[in-house]
């Protein structure tokens, strides 16, 4: 029987960020608030940076209404391959993009983008056909409405794409807190406001314990 649980490995994964462009985000993403969505995308990006994953960026008509990439992505990955597609809707139809993926040598592809039902779904399904394991990051991918997103995610899941959010991606790559307790804790605290409360509560309890021992 085939394994039902395929884990992400930091040694075998690459991140593909598709069309996180300012015009598309502000004009088309409606299933998340713009600020929340941008925070999710940057959290995923910082996760990739923390685990030293290969990252590939791609854009569509960035000199037109779609706009440039989010500035935070450009700043985080100044040396990452950036593939400007001249017309292909499905990034997997662009030879330079596919070659950049092959050059990573990784077989697990983490994909996020705008919009979910097209710019994410099309390359995700194409990568499956090409023999890759595909993990789509739902909260770093956005589209016109929740109903549209749900239909696209269902289509991908039925085809074998694994659906995750950025936090579960980070946790599965980490595997064990002891691999880097301070570094992983700092990553979560910087990107997940709720986790700052966890750390604050813990630090307060530690101080109380120390004071009681004196």
Q: For position 41, what pLDDT does the model report?
A: 98
Instruction: Return mean pLDDT, the chain.
Output: 92
Residue 196 and residue 103 share a domain: no
Asked if 35 and 131 sit in the same domain, the reply is yes
Name the E strands within the chain.
13-18, 55-60, 82-85, 108-113, 133-137, 162-164
| pLDDT confidence band for 33 (50 / 70 / 90) | very high
Residue 164 has pLDDT above 50, yes or no: yes
Among 72-86, 136-150, 195-209, which stretch is predicted with the lowest mean pLDDT?
A: 195-209
Q: Which residues are part of the catalytic machinery?
A: 119
By residue range, what is the domain housing residue 57?
Answer: 13-175
Structural domain includes residue 131:
yes
Co-location of 135 and 185 in the same domain: no
Pair (92, 181) in one structural domain? no
Residue 66 has pLDDT above 90, yes or no: yes
Q: What is the pTM of this model?
A: 0.92
Q: In the predicted model, is pLDDT for residue 161 greater than 60? A: yes
Q: Establish if 4 belongs to a structural domain.
A: no
Tell me what pLDDT residue 194 has.
72
Shared domain for 122 and 195, answered yes or no, is: no
Backbone angles phi, psi at 60, to 5 degrees: -130, 120
Tens digit of each residue's pLDDT (9 = 90 or more) over 44-55:
999 999 999 999
CB 166 within 8 A of CB 44: yes
Q: Is residue 151 part of a domain?
A: yes
CATH number, domain with residue 82: 3.40.50.850
What's residue 32's pLDDT? 97
The total domain count for the chain is 2
* Cβ-based neighbours of 138, under 8 Å, separated by 6 or more: 116, 149, 153, 163, 164, 165
Band (pLDDT 50/70/90 cuts) for residue 205 is very low
pLDDT at 204: 52
What is the tens place of the pLDDT at every residue in 94-139?
999 999 999 999 999 999 999 999 999 999 999 999 999 999 999 9
The four Cα atoms 209, 179, 131, 82 give a dihedral, to 10 degrees, of 90
Show Cβ contacts of residue 43 under 8 Å, excluding neighbours closer than 6 positions: 140, 166, 167, 191, 192
């Amino acid at each position: 029987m085939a394994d039902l649980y395929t884990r992400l490995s930091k040694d075998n994964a690459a991140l593909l960020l598709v069309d996180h462009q300012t015009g598309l985000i502000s004009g088309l993403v409606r299933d998340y608030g713009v600020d929340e969505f941008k925070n999710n995308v940057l959290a995923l990006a910082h996760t990739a940076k923390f685990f030293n994953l290969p990252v590939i960026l791609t854009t569509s008509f960035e000199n037109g209404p779609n706009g440039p990439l989010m500035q935070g992505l450009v700043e985080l990955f100044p040396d990452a391959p950036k593939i400007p597609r001249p017309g292909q809707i499905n990034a997997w139809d662009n030879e330079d993009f596919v070659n950049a993926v092959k050059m990573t040598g990784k077989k697990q592809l983490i994909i996020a983008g705008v919009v979910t039902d097209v710019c994410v779904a099309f390359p995700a399904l194409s990568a499956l056909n090409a023999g890759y394991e595909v993990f789509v990051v739902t909260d770093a991918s956005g589209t016109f409405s929740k109903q549209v997103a749900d239909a696209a995610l269902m289509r991908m899941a039925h085809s074998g794409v694994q659906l995750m959010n950025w936090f579960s991606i980070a946790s599965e790559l980490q595997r064990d807190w002891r691999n880097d307790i301070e570094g992983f804790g700092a990553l979560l605290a910087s990107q997940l406001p709720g986790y700052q409360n966890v750390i604050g509560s813990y630090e307060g309890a530690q101080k109380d314990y120390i004071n009681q021992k004196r």
